[in-house]
Structures are given as structure tokens and as C-alpha cells.
Structure 1
């Protein structure tokens, strides 16, 4: 149960940028109980371990958007350096660069958070597909009903008494 609680805490630290699910260097540094500057130094020293699909620097616009949408990252607003974003693979690679026992434990929990996040997305996609199929069926039924000509015409009998008229000879 404790792992699930930790996973849900980490889940709020995952963002979507450039089509990737990522975590920001400031959040990771806080989790690893180190300075962001030191974390970035380790990444630069081991740049060959962090290709573009593992880690990338945010543009100024991306940074502004992130700061606008996330109050806890307000410190980044006045930073002259753009943050790094780490994908799931990049976070996993950090454990080989940051070798402390704390880093290993944190990485395990972060990996669980990414897995949990991915499961939620898959469940939502499945639900979306089911709703789309149901919507399509309903639309087909409505189209069929709208395009169907009236099959039977009911002749209405007059209401009331019938008065017989006498024939005149």
C-alpha cells in the first residue's frame, strides 16, 4: 500500500512534453536530495548516456508554459537556464549516474509511477474506443431510422356517430 501512495505522489511530477512523458530536473533533484546544478553536471559528464529521447532541454516557451501551469515550479520563472526534461528511460539512466542508495530507491518508485501512468492511459484509450464504437452504432441506427420510408399508412376513421343518409330516388 505504501508503494501505491508513493507512486501516486510521483505521478503528479510527470508531464507530457514533445510527445514524451517526462520529469523535470528540479523535481528529480529534490527527490534525490541533491542540487539541480549537481544533477545537470552529472548528466553533462555522461552526455553519451542521455540521447535526445532520454533527456532534452526545454525551450523558453516550454519553460514558460510549464511555470504557468505548475505553481511549484515558480522558481524556474526567473532562472536564466532552461530545465532538462527526462523521459522514463532518462530517469532510469540517472540511477547509473547517481549511484547513491537514495537514488536507486527513488528510481524504483519513479519507474513504478511511469508504469502506473501508462496503465491509466491504456485504460482510458480502451474506454474511448468502446465509447466510439457505441456512438457509431447509435449513429447508424438513427441514420437507418431517418432514411427508412414510412412502411404503413394508417387510414383514419372519422370519430363520432355515422349518419346514414337516405338515398333519393
Structure 2
């Protein structure tokens, strides 16, 4: 799980695609960025634009600006990094033919799949479940005590508390359903 989180932190959104940068991939594979890029250039036919692209100057500046506190990340970037899409990362395993590369690639592919599932699958929310239970309870009480004149003050107060709680949950749920900000690099 820790490795998935580490990999997930290295996935950026650039040009509306989830990508990993050459320097992060090289670090994970235990090779120099230069060596990774040379292997890719020797097999450039395997990396069309939808597998890999080079960041523009502006994209590189934006990416570096996310790491204001860390000069070590800014240092040593002499050229714009290459970004590998999920397909490009999968192709890297055929170019970097080592046991480490294969193991790391499997972890990266699992991470991409996990991210895709988070986006595609509906979010199970405990607030929704509680809201439904409270609404059922309210409906039951309304059915049992259809006429408020037939109930005592304690029951009336409980009904009011249920109504207030339900309203609060609905307000909270409405605020939770706002669109989430994208994770990673955003133009």
C-alpha cells in the first residue's frame, strides 16, 4: 500500500492525461534519467505521442513551481522532462528489460488501475447512508404519528431534532458533492 501511495504521488495530470515524468520513473527503476531516455530514444518507434511527450517550457515551469520549497528538485533540470502516459509506462517494461523494471512496472500499472477505479466507481459515502436511515426513521415516525396533536412534547422535540439533523446532513452532503480538484499538475 505504501508503494502505491508513493507511485500515486508521482502521477501528474498534464495535458488532461495522467502521466509520470522520466526522472521519477528512472528513480523508481534504479537507473539514471539519461539512461532511461537513451533506452527510449533507441526504441523511439515504440513511443508515439499518446505514449510519451516532452513537456513544453511553460509546462516545465509550472511543474517546477509546485516544488517551491525544494531546490534539489529544481536543480539539474537542464531540459524539459518527458512525460509517459500509462501506455508509455507499460511500454517501458519492454525497453528496460530487468527484473527491477518489471516489478516496478507492475506496481505502476496497479496504481494507474486503482486511480481509474477511484474515478469510475461511485463513492460510497457514510453520510448518504446515514441520511437514508434518518429519512426512513422520519417517514416511519410521520406514519405512526400522522397527527402531531396525538404526541407528547418529548416526541415532538425528537421529531424536530431528527428534522434538524436531516437538514444538516443534506447541507453537508451537498457541500461534499462539489467537484473535487484534480490531483497532480494542473495547467
Q: Normalized against structure 1, the TM-score is what?
A: 0.67
Q: Report the alpha carbon displacement of residue 54 of structure 1 after superposing the two structures with TM.
A: 0.2
CA–CA distance in 2 between the matches of 1:53 and 1:122? 21
Q: Which runs of 5+ in 2 are unaligned?
A: 129-187
In the other structure, the counterpart of 2:95 is: 97
Q: Normalized against structure 2, the TM-score is what?
A: 0.61
Q: Which runs of 5+ in 1 are unaligned?
A: 131-169
In the other structure, the counterpart of 1:44 is: 41
Q: Runs in 1 of length 4+ with deviation above 4 angstroms?
A: 71-74, 124-127
Kindly indicate whether residue 119 of structure 2 is the aligned counterpart of residue 121 of structure 1: yes
Q: Report the alpha carbon displacement of residue 117 of structure 1 after superposing the two structures with TM.
A: 0.9
Output the aligned Cα RMSD: 2.2
CA–CA distance in 2 between the matches of 1:66 and 1:124? 30
CA–CA distance in 2 between the matches of 1:45 and 1:109? 25
Q: Report the alpha carbon displacement of residue 119 of structure 1 after superposing the two structures with TM.
A: 1.3
Partner SS for 2:116 = helix
CA–CA distance in 1 between the matches of 2:62 and 2:14? 10
Q: Is the 8 A contact 1:67 1:73 kept in 2?
A: no
Change (3 A) 1:11 1:81: same
Q: How many residues align?
A: 125
Q: Report the alpha carbon displacement of residue 21 of structure 1 after superposing the two structures with TM.
A: 0.3
Kindly indicate whether residue 85 of structure 2 is the aligned counterpart of residue 87 of structure 1: yes
Q: How does 1:12-161 map to 2 (within 5 A)?
A: 12-70=9-67, 74-76=72-74, 79-123=77-121
Change (3 A) 1:93 1:38: same
Partner SS for 1:21 = strand
